[in-house]
A and B are shown apart, each in its own frame.
Chain A
Amino acid sequence: MSAITRDEVVHLARLSRLALGDDELDHLAAQLDQIISAVARVQEVAAEDIPPTSHALPLTNVYRPDEVRPSLTPEQALAGAPAAEDQRFRVPRILDEEA
């Protein structure tokens, strides 16, 4: 049985904002299936009562003081922009408000 269906791969591509062609989806589906089957080994570990680790080191409470530092100039900020207009980043039309 496959670990992941092709439909799921299509869904993941949409979630990941990757416009993939059919061939690429087929190829990826097979590879992801193989990889997911392999990494699923983590589920063998008896992990009752084992706390998860999200950070390599147990640091806490790292803050900076509320001080203003120099910003970029608008020219610097926009220098790498694919398109700019009126000192703003110009982007293609946006389909909908974020839900």
Chain B
Amino acid sequence: MSELVKKTAAELGSLIASGETSAAEVARAHLDRVAAVDGDVRAFLHVDGETVLAQARKVDERRAAGEELGPLAGVPIAHKDVFTTTDMPTTAGSRILEGWRPPYDATITARLRKAGLVILGKTNMDEFAMGSSTENSAYHPTHNPWDLSRIPGGSSGGSSAAVAAYEAPLATGTDTGGSIRQPAAVTGIVGAKPTYGGSTRYGIIAFASSLDTPGPFARNVLDAALLHEAFSGHDPMDSTSIDKPVPPVVEAARRADVAGLRVGVVKEFAGDGYQPGVTARFNEAVELLESLGAKVVEVSCPNFSYALPAYYLIAPSECSSNLARFDAMRFGLRVGDDGGRSAEEVMALTRAEGFGPEVKRRIMLGTYALSSGYYDAYYGKAQQVRTLIARDFDAAFGQVDVLVSPTTPTTAFPIGERADDPMAMYLADLCTIPANLAGNAAISVPCGLADEDGLPVGLQIMAPVLGDDRVYRVGAAVERALEDRWGGPLLGKAPELAEAAK
């Protein structure tokens, strides 16, 4: 394994900028690492070495031509397969889009290219981002680098696994109910969900439009902040994009202090259903914050207990509509067009074959919730719950600057354990969903290993809308203190992956 793959993104950026190494060399080191470990981890759906090296060489040429490049120029990134890319297939983990080559780049894809990031490949995901384990990928499951028999979280599990396995220092994800934070937590890395509207959705294959939020994965808070800054900001192609400056997340990550900050512990996110090791590490993190000078209080958000049911009405409702376009007419899979069948029949056959069980479940559930006669009792009520959750946040942020909770109630569970038990699977998002419903900023940072299984535990930090800098500031402070205690990043405790011979 090349030492380059252990470097942080910030370090790689400066090594490339100073000419000590080149983007091409860094890309090659990461391609080698992918070749060596991805046979076991299976983080990627698509990697094309030639395309990667061409991008890297272009960055080196731009630099040679004197172009002023950002701090991440030449740094490799794993890109979730939900973002459209013109030079790589985009499938959203679904059979229905197998081999699809979009005619346009997502805004974030374009921004990554502009900043000189080198897109290593497209990462695996739960089909259409629906799931918490990446087992719902139509192609294959992804394995947690800490324990290959366990899930890497989801839906952005390919991205979290790639970063945790040193296949890439950075990755993109999307977070609709926790799909960045939960995978980050269970793989021992950092994952942030920006404020809704702070990072553009244009070119992200939609799951639930009012919740979907793209965000960064990295092995440390500063790297995540650098990536956050590189792809965030107003996009005129997304009507829900916020036309305001990006909060100063990089500065906040460097500042990394919590003295005088008021921290609220969400009372509702504890107790039954929380793994003891998760609770123990979380409590220690809270004590740590107090020792760093934060004022910690307990805060009650009574309506958070309704967040999960509300989410499982709102997200499926929006998805049932968003996924209607996958109909075998303009792009993607077409099944059963034998010249005799009608368009309607071909649509239904294609969708039945092209979508996996979880996607079908959610489409059916959403169709139900929006149907005349049920709308008020389900979708309508869920929208009212959404209002109540936002009010709980408002009240809480009247008392404290940030809220904290465990990111997810358990550590990584074994592959297959919850695969056909949707209700058990949905519990993985229990603590992360409120921030999606209210649009808040949130982050997950590693806070230790659970005693009972030795697997990573995540600390979730939530801040108000456009308070992204606060979550980075607190996250970086926790990270610094814990790394001092551990003598390095948590990931250093992960078992070495066997490298396949070349």
A15–B344 alpha-carbon span in the complex (Å): 11
Minimum C-beta distance from B378 to chain A (A): 7
Interface flags, B340-367, vs A, CB<8A=1, else 0: 0111111111011001000011011101
A57–B236 alpha-carbon span in the complex (Å): 16
Is B303 positioned at the interface, with any CB of A under 8 Å from its CB? yes
Interface flags, B235-277, vs A, CB<8A=1, else 0: 0100110100000000000000000000000000000000000
- Residues in A with CB closer than 8 Å to B106 are none
- Residues in A with CB closer than 8 Å to B431 are none
- Residues in B with CB closer than 8 Å to A42 are 306, 309-310, 313, 378, 381-382, 384-385
Q: Which of B103, B339, B364, B386 has the most CB of A within 10 A?
A: B364
Is B100 positioned at the interface, with any CB of A under 8 Å from its CB? yes
Interface flags, B207-236, vs A, CB<8A=1, else 0: 000110000000000000000000000001
A32–B348 alpha-carbon span in the complex (Å): 20
A32–B422 alpha-carbon span in the complex (Å): 10
Is B136 positioned at the interface, with any CB of A under 8 Å from its CB? no
Beta-carbon contacts under 8 Å, B285-317 to A = 303, 306, 309-310, 312-313
Interchain CB contact (< 8 A) of A38 among B331, B361, B423: B423
Interchain CB contact (< 8 A) of B101 among A14, A57, A80, A93: A80
Q: Is the CB of A53 within 8 A of B386?
A: yes
- Known A-B contacts A35-B422, A55-B210; the reply to A17 vs B365 at CB < 8 A is no
Question: How many residues of B are counted as interface, with CB atoms below 8 angstroms from the partner's CB atoms?
Answer: 70
- Known A-B contacts A42-B306, A92-B346; the reply to A82 vs B337 at CB < 8 A is yes
Q: Is the CB of A32 within 8 A of B385?
A: no
Sorting the interface of chain A by its residue count into under 10, 10 to 19, 20 to 34 or 35 or more gives 35 or more
Interchain CB contact (< 8 A) of A56 among B210, B306, B324, B380: B210
- Residues in A with CB closer than 8 Å to B436 are 56
Q: Is the CB of B381 within 8 A of A43?
A: yes
Q: Is the CB of B352 within 8 A of A20?
A: yes
- Residues in A with CB closer than 8 Å to B313 are 39, 42
Nearest residue in B to A53 (C-beta to C-beta)?
B386
Q: Is the CB of A93 within 8 A of B342?
A: yes
A–B complex contacts, Cβ < 8 Å, 20 sampled: A16-B364, A20-B352, A24-B360, A36-B365, A38-B423, A42-B378, A53-B390, A55-B210, A56-B197, A56-B438, A57-B196, A59-B240, A59-B242, A72-B104, A76-B103, A79-B103, A83-B334, A91-B329, A91-B343, A94-B342
Other contacts beyond A44-B306, A92-B341, A93-B342: 18, CB < 8 A: A9-B364, A17-B348, A18-B364, A19-B345, A28-B361, A35-B312, A38-B423, A39-B310, A39-B313, A41-B306, A55-B240, A56-B197, A56-B439, A59-B239, A80-B103, A82-B329, A82-B331, A94-B343
